[in-house]
Structure 1
Amino acid sequence: MGRPFAPTLIIAILLIVIPAISLLSAYDYLQTRERMTSDLSVLQNVTEKSIRESVTNVDTGLKLFDSSLNEELRDGFSLFLQEYDRAGGDPSEMDLAALKEQLGGEMDLYIINESGVIEYTTYPPDRGLDFKKLPDFYAEITRIRLGENFSPDRVVYEPETGQIRKYAYMPTPDHRYLLELGLVPDAFVEERSQFRSQESTQEFVTLNPYLESIYVYDIFGNLVGENGEPPNTETRALVTGTIIPARADYEVRDTVHGEQIRYLFIDLKDPDYPSDPSVVVELTYNTALIQSQLDQMLYYHAVVAFLTIVFSSGIIFLVARRLTRPIERIIDDVDIIAQGDLNHTIRVSATREVMRLERSINTMVGSLKLAIQNLRRSEETIRGYSEHLEEQVEARTADLEESNRMAALFLDIMTHDINNANNTANLYTDLLMDELEGEPRGYAEKLQKSLQKSVEIIRGVNTIRQIQEEEAVLRPVALDPVIRGEIAHYLDVSITYAGTTATVLADDLLAGVFTNLIGNAAKFGGSEVDIAVRVEEREEGVLASVEDNGPGIPDEKKPYLFARFSGGDGEKSGRGLGLYICRMLITRYGGRIWVDDRVPGRPEEGAAIRFTLQKAP
């Protein structure tokens, strides 16, 4: 015995309403989470872009201030060099302490030997400092020592003490030592630089609600503008061991504490200065804040969904009681129709809505009857078509294959006969050229050139057939023998080729590319043309080119150069199959081909056809 209709209807509707409400709530939750995550990403990008610009602007201002001290240091080197000359080029004989007092007592003096070690100085903590531990900086000071000019540096932080200094360098005349002056600016400069660094970054913490903290580190892993407070060991190791060598941004996610830590590398290196003032900005984002907001929204949705379900259940119960009796009658009538009596109609009820339902069901049954009739007629038609379709397809396929075979046979016969005719004509032309002189001999030479063009066309047609009919089976092919074999066919043409060890993926048709390109360059370049074949190996593949110093190719013809039958309009022009075949072959090998000017922007000084090939593994 079945269940009562009303409870079943209520349960059925609730099974629809509850998942619908749940899906809507879940969809809204996901949309909100995506929107909040997107807002965080946008805000994060804006913050990081602003920080980069702020730090760069601060550094630009400080660079102007640093440059204002250059002349003071330049003047100090005149006395430094005089003392070096007085000591006969022996730093041990130099009175550096007296020289420091003579310079005003605000500059420390350093003498760096060829090994990059500070051998003598008025600043004891730096004596014995080995710059080879900083390879990039050592390379810079070595370049300066071997040069002739005064080289100022930026105001930088000392790695150990954190004190800022302005350095400058001057090589000794004998290039055995590098003289260095270190100016200690007054307290105003130090206070100014720290204040600007802090103000330019910390203000972003208040502008971004997800940003918890921001710190700036120099290339030695020291905190900048934080009163000399040392960073933790792990952070220093990350900055100096990973981020600075890579000179790229870095990201760490702490899912346990709900944090995302972004390290921005800001490249401030200036080629005019030896030191590297680049910094790493550490940004800590609180991703747990988003999750907290999402949890609150999820709780709100759950409460709303529960109240909605309770309210809906009450309404559904009242509606079900009103619909029960007329629906039962409809169900009885539908059962009769379902048993096959499509002529039975639904009884009309008193309720207006149910009456519309009854009329709709009657209309549906009528449409169903018509559809069944049409379906039966369609089945009979389809059955008739399907009985003959397979036979027709097989017959068409056989006819097509036979047509292809006959076309290939006729083309083989034509090619064979034309080649025989060309060979015979060539033989008689050679005999005529031996017998004729003067103007008749010139006619014979033109005839022979026409026959050669005909041979080239037949060869091109055969190559196109082979490309289209044979499936490409690529294998490693040494490029050098292929190129040298084709160059050997043009002994009377000046061809430059340096050789190559490249091995590419191709087949036996590869030689056709160089045949056509070298032949075109020789034909169109004139009797004095110089041809160069170049091969360059790259990570992504091999770049080859055939260049000539002939009349070149006008810009308006370059886009159509590789199309079929795109030969030129001069007396030396062919049928335009050569470059078309080259493009087909290069495409077959997975590369691309294009035309350039031998001298960029000057097409009248020669052409360069370039193409790429895949390296063999």
Structure 2
Amino acid sequence: MLDIKAFFSRLLKDRPLTEHLMISVIILIVLIIASLSAFSYYEAQSGLEERERLLQIETEQSIIQWMTLVDEGLKMYDDTLDLRMKDSFEGFLEAYQDSGGDPSRMNLEDLKTGLDNTMDLYIINSSGVIEYSTVAEEIGVDFSQIPEFYQYLTSIRESDNFSADRVVRESSTGAIRKFAYMPTPDHRYILELGLVPDLLKDRKLGLSYVDAAEDLKKINRNLQSIRIYDIFGKTVGNKSHVPTPLQQERIKAAIQERTGNQSYDPANKTATDYIFIDLFDPDYPSDMSLVIELTFTTAPLERSLNSIFFTHLLIALLALLISMILAFSLIRYISKPISRMVADVDQIAHGDLDHRIQHTRGVELTRLEESINAMVGTLKSSLTRAQESEEALKQTNENLEKIVEKRTADLQNANAEANLYLDIISHDINNVNTIGLGYVHILRRRLSGGDREYAEKITRTIHRSSGIIHNVATIRMIHQKRLPLQPVDLDRVIRDEIAHNPEARIHFSGCEGLKVYADSLLSEVFSNLISNSLKFMEKDGDITIRVSDEDREIMVSVEDTGPGIPDELKEVIFNRFKRGSERQTGKGLGLYIVRSLVENYGGRVWADDRIPGQQTAGAAIRFTLVRVAEKEKGRQG
């Protein structure tokens, strides 16, 4: 997507104000003229297209009205022939009865002669097939292929009534005939007469679908051609015309759906409308409905639209040229005093503080001139004061550097002293504790009763002291050394820590082959968690260590059957110096170490209930570690 702000920024970068104004005004003028021209063009285009659409609608409505009027006229003429044809069936029925109901014994040619050769005779069986006729081409025509017409014929055969049809074209010869039907008394056959009307034969009636359609071309100059198709898709009038496959498809769709459709041919610049005119009359067996194909040329419309487009484009370009000339002259007039002021400011900026801005026209520019002159005077005074202050600032900076150097040295000494104390705690005091444990061990063997119990308490106290020193050393190592992470065998680390607590009941089902990213201090996590659980449980309590593989993460859970952790402490027990209970010792460093190590390994740790919802049923410390992928395991192997 185009960033307008960035576009203008690149366009106007490092250009003088005159060009800034000129480019901005030109862009504005282009946008305004383009918008007005586009609006005017689309208004003209819409008006022209609307006129063409209305003319096309008027043309379509006219063809529908004319076709309907022609059909009504033909229907009125058809009805005048009904009585004549009904009387003609008397001899036809008499001949059928004389034959004993066997059409093969009837002489149809003699009957036709008796009707002055004005009518052809047809006999249709119960299957809808013409078995006998004076028109050889019609014998064998099967009306069952036209389900609706065959159903109508069946209803005639089963009745006792005379039925007249419209003037239609014979399917085999294409001759125009007026058909009428009469069932035989035994209802086995339908007797049919086909009359060629004199007026239609000689075209004296003056009613023609084709002639009416041709008159329509005078209404719409864009109407290229009109073709008429009957309900069977056959061309009415121009017999030499053969519809293309696309035309046949459109005509068939209009007949089946009994509605119109449209198609457009961009290559030939034509639009073709197929209009379905519903002329079906339930009083007649034949459906006289028509499909009218109107082909309009779009070339005149396109030429008009192109002419309108180029006219609007020419006017827009002319307006743009005149606007740019006027804008350039106006901007030059406005920007001239600003350019002089810029030259004066540039001279001042190069160090000539005694130079003054020349007088300009315009209230705003005059005020700007006075303000700049006042500012230059103030700047000159400020520079003088700044030079006087520079020496004092230089002296202050030198003193400040000395103070920083001294404080840095003090911090380094304090850090060295703190490390010395830590070394004393972790080494010398630990050595003293070791010696003390040796003496107490000797006393425990020699004492008994209450004295022996005091010796055991001293032993536990010394062990706790050593634990505190160990925790401090561990924390120091975490913050100072930052050991690199590498694949560590989790199963081996857990089993080693279990082995260090042989007196505890620790359950672990194993996790062979599972490696995580950690360092040599991973064992401290399990050591602190096991010690923490033992501290709060009764002597017969159990510890369970569970390991589950969750795709990229490994979740470890150290659970015990102790008194559990209250909900209000679950979020804070991992903080430094936070005690979970008065029974806990060691200044709350164990769980802080656990959290520090787990987070260094890219995991997270939290406190939970061993059994969800049962806080007093025991505690569970759960944490995650990053699993080593199989590919990296292979490289390690």
Counterpart code for 2:298 = T
Match 1:66 to one of 44, 65, 78: 78
**Is residue 178 of structure 2 the alignment partner of residue 166 of structure 1?**
yes
Match 1:175 to one of 187, 194, 214: 187
Q: Secondary structure at the match of 1:275?
A: coil
**Cα deviation, residue 166, structure 1:** 0.3
Residues 306-455 of structure 1: pairs in structure 2 closer than 5 A: 306-326=317-337
TM (normalized to structure 1)?
0.52
Q: How far, CA to CA, are the matches of 2:363 and 2:198 in structure 1?
A: 96
Q: Could you say if the C-alpha distance between residues 233 and 179 of structure 1 is closer, same or farther in structure 2, counting changes exceeding 3 Å? A: farther
**Partner residue of 1:382?**
none
* Total equivalences in the alignment: 347
Residues 521-600 of structure 1: pairs in structure 2 closer than 5 A: none
Counterpart code for 2:278 = D
Counterpart code for 2:293 = E
Q: Could you say if the C-alpha distance between residues 105 and 120 of structure 1 is closer, same or farther in structure 2, counting changes exceeding 3 Å? A: same
Match 2:274 to one of 249, 252, 263: 263
Contact 1:220 1:240 in 2 (8 A): no
- Bigger drift between 75-84 and 298-307 goes to 298-307
Counterpart code for 1:232 = P
**Is residue 23 of structure 2 the alignment partner of residue 23 of structure 1?**
no
**Cα deviation, residue 71, structure 1:** 0.8
**Partner residue of 1:88?**
100
Q: How far, CA to CA, are the matches of 1:66 and 1:316 in structure 2?
A: 80
**Partner residue of 1:300?**
311
CA-based RMSD: 3.3
**Is residue 145 of structure 2 the alignment partner of residue 140 of structure 1?**
no
**Is residue 65 of structure 2 the alignment partner of residue 53 of structure 1?**
yes
**Partner residue of 1:557?**
none
Give a deviation string over 1:220-257, Cα, whole Å, max 9, x none. 2222233x324225266326642222222122222332
Match 2:284 to one of 266, 273, 291: 273
Contact 1:222 1:231 in 2 (8 A): no
Give a deviation string over 1:80-114, Cα, whole Å, max 9, x none. 11111111111111111111111111100000000
Q: How far, CA to CA, are the matches of 1:67 and 1:331 in structure 2?
A: 101
Counterpart code for 2:309 = L
Q: Could you say if the C-alpha distance between residues 257 and 321 of structure 1 is closer, same or farther in structure 2, counting changes exceeding 3 Å? A: same
Q: Secondary structure at the match of 1:179?
A: strand
**Partner residue of 1:287?**
298
**Partner residue of 2:44?**
32
**Partner residue of 1:250?**
261
**Cα deviation, residue 47, structure 1:** 1.5
Q: How far, CA to CA, are the matches of 1:354 and 1:45 in structure 2?
A: 66
Q: How far, CA to CA, are the matches of 1:210 and 1:53 in structure 2?
A: 20
Q: How far, CA to CA, are the matches of 1:310 and 1:19 in structure 2?
A: 14
Q: Could you say if the C-alpha distance between residues 240 and 128 of structure 1 is closer, same or farther in structure 2, counting changes exceeding 3 Å? A: farther
Q: How far, CA to CA, are the matches of 2:46 and 2:282 in structure 1?
A: 44
- Bigger drift between 76-85 and 241-250 goes to 241-250
Q: Could you say if the C-alpha distance between residues 51 and 330 of structure 1 is closer, same or farther in structure 2, counting changes exceeding 3 Å? A: farther
Q: Secondary structure at the match of 2:236?
A: coil
Give a deviation string over 1:415-474, Cα, whole Å, max 9, x none. xxxxxxxxxxxxxxxxxxxxxxxxxxxxxxxxxxxxxxxxxxxxxxxxxxxxxxxxxxxx
Q: How far, CA to CA, are the matches of 2:232 and 2:265 in structure 1?
A: 25
**Cα deviation, residue 199, structure 1:** 3.0
Counterpart code for 2:330 = V
Q: Could you say if the C-alpha distance between residues 103 and 236 of structure 1 is closer, same or farther in structure 2, counting changes exceeding 3 Å? A: farther
Q: Secondary structure at the match of 1:175?
A: coil
**Partner residue of 2:413?**
none
Give a deviation string over 1:345-402, Cα, whole Å, max 9, x none. xx997569999xx9xxxxxxxxxxxxxxxxxxxxxxxxxxxxxxxxxxxxxxxxxxxx
Q: Which residues of structure 1 form unaligned runs of 5+?
A: 333-346, 359-617
**Cα deviation, residue 315, structure 1:** 1.5
Q: Could you say if the C-alpha distance between residues 129 and 188 of structure 1 is closer, same or farther in structure 2, counting changes exceeding 3 Å? A: closer
Q: Could you say if the C-alpha distance between residues 29 and 236 of structure 1 is closer, same or farther in structure 2, counting changes exceeding 3 Å? A: closer
Contact 1:194 1:225 in 2 (8 A): no
Q: How far, CA to CA, are the matches of 2:14 and 2:146 in structure 1?
A: 88
Q: Secondary structure at the match of 2:228?
A: strand
Q: Secondary structure at the match of 1:204?
A: helix
Contact 1:239 1:280 in 2 (8 A): no
Q: Could you say if the C-alpha distance between residues 274 and 326 of structure 1 is closer, same or farther in structure 2, counting changes exceeding 3 Å? A: same
Q: Could you say if the C-alpha distance between residues 162 and 349 of structure 1 is closer, same or farther in structure 2, counting changes exceeding 3 Å? A: farther
**Cα deviation, residue 130, structure 1:** 0.7
Contact 2:137 2:173 in 1 (8 A): no
Q: Secondary structure at the match of 2:203?
A: helix
Give a deviation string over 1:12-38, Cα, whole Å, max 9, x none. 211111222122222222222222222
Q: How far, CA to CA, are the matches of 1:293 and 1:127 in structure 2?
A: 57
Match 2:215 to one of 203, 226, 232: 203
Q: How far, CA to CA, are the matches of 1:103 and 1:348 in structure 2?
A: 121
Q: How far, CA to CA, are the matches of 1:249 and 1:297 in structure 2?
A: 32
**Cα deviation, residue 261, structure 1:** 1.1
Counterpart code for 2:277 = I
TM (normalized to structure 2)?
0.50
Q: Secondary structure at the match of 1:191?
A: coil
**Cα deviation, residue 61, structure 1:** 0.7
**Is residue 216 of structure 2 the alignment partner of residue 234 of structure 1?**
no
**Cα deviation, residue 314, structure 1:** 1.7
**Cα deviation, residue 187, structure 1:** 5.7
Give a deviation string over 1:540-583, Cα, whole Å, max 9, x none. xxxxxxxxxxxxxxxxxxxxxxxxxxxxxxxxxxxxxxxxxxxx
**Cα deviation, residue 330, structure 1:** 9.9
Q: Could you say if the C-alpha distance between residues 273 and 6 of structure 1 is closer, same or farther in structure 2, counting changes exceeding 3 Å? A: same
Q: How far, CA to CA, are the matches of 2:152 and 2:365 in structure 1?
A: 93
**Partner residue of 2:55?**
43
Q: How far, CA to CA, are the matches of 2:307 and 2:171 in structure 1?
A: 48
Give a deviation string over 1:262-289, Cα, whole Å, max 9, x none. 1111111111111111110001122333
Q: Secondary structure at the match of 2:284?
A: coil
Contact 1:10 1:317 in 2 (8 A): yes
Q: How far, CA to CA, are the matches of 1:90 and 1:312 in structure 2?
A: 99
Match 1:113 to one of 119, 125, 134: 125
**Partner residue of 1:584?**
none
Q: How far, CA to CA, are the matches of 2:249 and 2:337 in structure 1?
A: 77
Give a deviation string over 1:588-608, Cα, whole Å, max 9, x none. xxxxxxxxxxxxxxxxxxxxx
**Partner residue of 1:214?**
226
Q: How far, CA to CA, are the matches of 2:365 and 2:190 in structure 1?
A: 103
Q: Secondary structure at the match of 2:194?
A: strand
Q: Secondary structure at the match of 1:66?
A: helix
Q: How far, CA to CA, are the matches of 1:348 and 1:143 in structure 2?
A: 111
Contact 1:247 1:267 in 2 (8 A): yes
Match 1:123 to one of 135, 139, 143: 135
**Is residue 18 of structure 2 the alignment partner of residue 12 of structure 1?**
no
**Cα deviation, residue 306, structure 1:** 1.9
Q: Secondary structure at the match of 2:283?
A: coil
**Cα deviation, residue 290, structure 1:** 2.0
Q: How far, CA to CA, are the matches of 1:31 and 1:68 in structure 2?
A: 56
Q: Could you say if the C-alpha distance between residues 125 and 275 of structure 1 is closer, same or farther in structure 2, counting changes exceeding 3 Å? A: same
Q: Could you say if the C-alpha distance between residues 154 and 195 of structure 1 is closer, same or farther in structure 2, counting changes exceeding 3 Å? A: closer
